[in-house]
Chains A and B, each alone.
Chain A
Amino acid sequence: KNEVEQSPQNLTAQEGEFITINCSYSVGISALHWLQQHPGGGIVSLFMLSSGKKKHGRLIATINIQEKHSSLHITASHPRDSAVYICAVEGMRFGAGTRLTVKP
């Protein structure tokens, strides 16, 4: 079993829908990253969080350290949000990613 599990593996949504991607981990951590990998392959750091919630534009990330769970939400999704979203925990152990496709 991977130390970092993401769900779902693949997600297709219609433009405007509210998106939730989940990340569960089995190790104790103090920080968690959410990354975005574009279809061209480039990787961008979206959030690093250790407690509570962070918001950037239409993206919201939450973490519950006690439950070892984090979620990434996208409000009013848009086709340009189509990407692979990757969760990573302390020590840089990564989930396999969630491939999101947003259709117009």
Chain B
Amino acid sequence: NAGVTQTPKFQVLKTGQSMTLQCAQDMNHEYMSWYRQDPGMGLRLIHYSVGAGITDQGEVPNGYNVSRSTTEDFPLRLLSAAPSQTSVYFCASSTGGLNEKLFFGSGTQLSVL
């Protein structure tokens, strides 16, 4: 199994540009989530989904949009990129909710100039 696949691995954007970070899992997990990791701050939850058609905000949702049309895919959209969104982004999935074992993607390093 591929597990959790994130694309792209690296991306450079200009301020104001939009883009979508892709996340797909092939484990039939209901729960998927997006995190950002900044130096010295640890991982922070952006958005999460407990199943197709259901999404909710995490700790730092502003500037990000998500949708969950299928069990497999959970894309993260930056509508108008800002330098403050420069970070490393991780997608994760699990069999259950926030308290089940998480499987992480390999991360996307995003720079906004």
A binding-site residues for B, Cβ under 8 Å: 2, 4, 30-31, 33, 35, 41-45, 48, 86, 88, 90-97
Contacts and interface: CB of A to CB of B under 8 A. Distances in A.
B78 interface: no
Interface string B17-58: 000000000000000010100001111110010000000001
- By Cβ-Cβ distance, the 4 closest A-B pairs, closest first, are A94-B42, A43-B104, A31-B99, A94-B43
Interface of B: 33, 35, 40-45, 48, 58-59, 88, 90, 92, 98-104, 106-107, 109
Nearest to A6: B42
Contact of A42 (B33, B102, B107): B107
Main secondary structure of the interface of B (DSSP, over half): strand
B42 A48 contact: no
A96 B102 contact: no
Nearest to B88: A41
Contacts of B88: 41
B104 A42 contact: yes
A76 B28 CA distance: 37
A43 B90 contact: yes
8 contacts: A33-B101, A41-B106, A41-B109, A42-B107, A45-B104, A90-B99, A91-B98, A92-B58
A45 B103 CA distance: 7
Contact of B102 (A4, A33, A93): A33
Contacts of A91: 45, 98
A44 B44 CA distance: 16
B98 A90 contact: yes
Contacts of B44: 94
A91 B33 CA distance: 11
A86 B44 CA distance: 12
Name the residue among B98, B101, B103 with the largest chain A CB count within 10 angstroms.
B98
Given A41-B106, A48-B101, A94-B43, 17 more contacts: A2-B42, A31-B99, A41-B107, A41-B109, A43-B104, A44-B104, A45-B102, A88-B43, A90-B98, A92-B35, A92-B43, A92-B48, A94-B42, A95-B42, A96-B40, A96-B42, A97-B42
